[in-house]
Copies of this chain bind each other. A is one copy, B any other.
């Protein structure tokens, strides 16, 4: 459903890049979940631009929870989170009106909304809106953690520099990795931060941008969550994650590499560990037939290079229909891969809360 995600636990998202505030309503949470505002603030901090490798737009992300929480816990009624926009420079965008930015939503939105869209800073399509996802996702992550389910995302690749992959077939080792990266501002498993940052700044110096791949793991998810056809567990995660601006693909487990494998190599043989059925490898990424299989859920998502670059680009003036040249001068990220990590984890946490509530009832996360 447009701007709403979920069936039993539902996030509704509103707000624009240069509007007054971002609004997120998170409905259907079990009652009694502790809401830790410090944790929400820390999660928003992970999404916030910082350093030279991010946009110069700086938002304090002061948020305000105005419903659904009483005496520090969820009530079961919808939780409303408001995050004001503060550092807005719409003047940067005045020059862009009618000139759609290549590989941005501008042109498609113009056709869809017939010119009535709020075009400033990408409007409702802006990455700014993900602040609402991260704030709501923080509550979801807390609730999952209390049930032993953890979610973490790292930069698997950025600007051609590759991080170590998750250890997907060893649940315990993976859980430790997930815990470690969950609090990192630049979440990588190996020693690749400096190399990645150097390449990002190089691109920035060229008036250009870079992309990458993020990798997400979920530990502790019980087997049997999801559905076989439509709204399969991989399907609902893909639907959620592909909503995030700039994400153009997703693969579960060994993903596209499976195309070159044979079945004897790709199949995850079953074994028993501590009386629990496990798989000895995890090419499946923890999902078979749309259902979780009890192993860690692992997927990669590709983030395209940020489309806002300062180099001159060819476009069309929508007011005249003539070709035009565009030079973007606003504040932009040369790479969003780092900032996307916490957004993906948040989104996945929201999806899992929904799936668990559907499977085990509305009180499951209490």
Q: Judging by beta carbons under 8 Å apart, are B270 and A100 in contact?
A: yes
Q: Is the CB of B113 within 8 A of A262?
A: no
Closest approach, in angstroms, between the C-beta of A238 and any C-beta of chain B? 4
Known A-B contacts: A249-B256, A251-B256. Give 18 more (CB < 8 A).
A1-B230, A2-B10, A3-B77, A3-B78, A11-B230, A31-B117, A77-B228, A107-B270, A108-B291, A112-B223, A203-B263, A206-B264, A242-B290, A259-B303, A264-B311, A277-B321, A280-B314, A359-B362
A91: interface (CB < 8 Å): no
Q: Are A124 and B255 in contact (CB under 8 A)?
A: no
Q: Is A141 an interface residue when CB atoms closer than 8 A count as contact?
A: no
Q: Which residues of B contact A75 (CB under 8 A)?
A: 16, 113, 116-118, 123-124
The reply to whether A239 and B248 form a contact with Cβ atoms under 8 Å apart is: no
- B residues in contact with A311, CB < 8 Å: 264
Q: Choose, from A45-53, A169-177, A281-289, the stretch at the interface.
A: A281-289
In the complex, whether A349 has a CB less than 8 A from a CB of chain B is no
Chain-B contact segment, one of A146-154, A187-195, A209-217: A209-217
Q: In the complex, what's the smallest C-beta–C-beta distance from A192 to chain B, in angstroms? A: 14
Min CB distance A61 to B, Å, is 16
B2 contacts A228, C-beta separation under 8 Å: yes
Q: Which of B225, B254, B307 contacts A263 (CB 8 A)?
A: B307
Q: Which residues of B contact A271 (CB under 8 A)?
A: 314, 316, 323
Q: Which of A93-108 contact B (CB under 8 A)?
A: 100, 102-108
Determine how close the nearest CB of chain B comes to the CB of A258; give it in whole angstroms: 4
The interface bits of chain A over 62-89 (1 if a CB of B lies within 8 angstroms of the residue's CB, else 0) are: 0010111010011111111010000000
Q: Is the CB of B289 within 8 A of A104?
A: yes
22 A-B residue pairs with CB within 8 Å? A3-B78, A14-B79, A14-B80, A15-B66, A16-B70, A70-B118, A77-B123, A103-B283, A106-B288, A108-B288, A209-B263, A211-B263, A235-B242, A251-B256, A258-B303, A261-B305, A265-B305, A266-B305, A266-B307, A272-B322, A280-B314, A283-B304
Q: Is A293 on the interface with B (CB-CB < 8 A)?
A: yes
The answer, yes or no, to whether A269 is at the interface (CB within 8 Å) is yes
- Judge if A39 is at the interface, Cβ distance under 8 Å: no
7 nearest CB pairs, A to B: A105-B289, A249-B251, A112-B224, A209-B263, A77-B124, A31-B116, A108-B291
CB contact list, A12-28 vs B, under 8 A: 12-16, 19-23, 25, 27-28
Contacts of A316 in B (CB 8 A): 270-272, 277
How many copies, total?
4
- With A234-B242, A249-B249 known as contacts, the answer to whether A223 contacts B108 (CB < 8 A) is yes
Residues of B within 8 A of A275 (CB): 321
Please measure, in the bound complex, the distance between the C-alpha atom of A260 and the C-alpha atom of B158, giving whole angstroms: 8
- Report the Cα distance A82→B14, complex, angstroms: 12
Within 8 Å of chain B (Cβ to Cβ): is A329? no
Given known contacts A117-B76, A124-B75, A14 and B67 CB-to-CB distance under 8 angstroms: yes
Q: Complex: how many Å from CA A231 to CA B226?
A: 18
Taking CB atoms, residues of chain B closer than 8 Å to A3 are 10, 25, 27, 77-78, 227-230
Is A296 an interface position by the 8 A CB rule?
no
Q: Once the chains are docked, how many angstroms separate the CA of A7 from the CA of B28?
A: 14
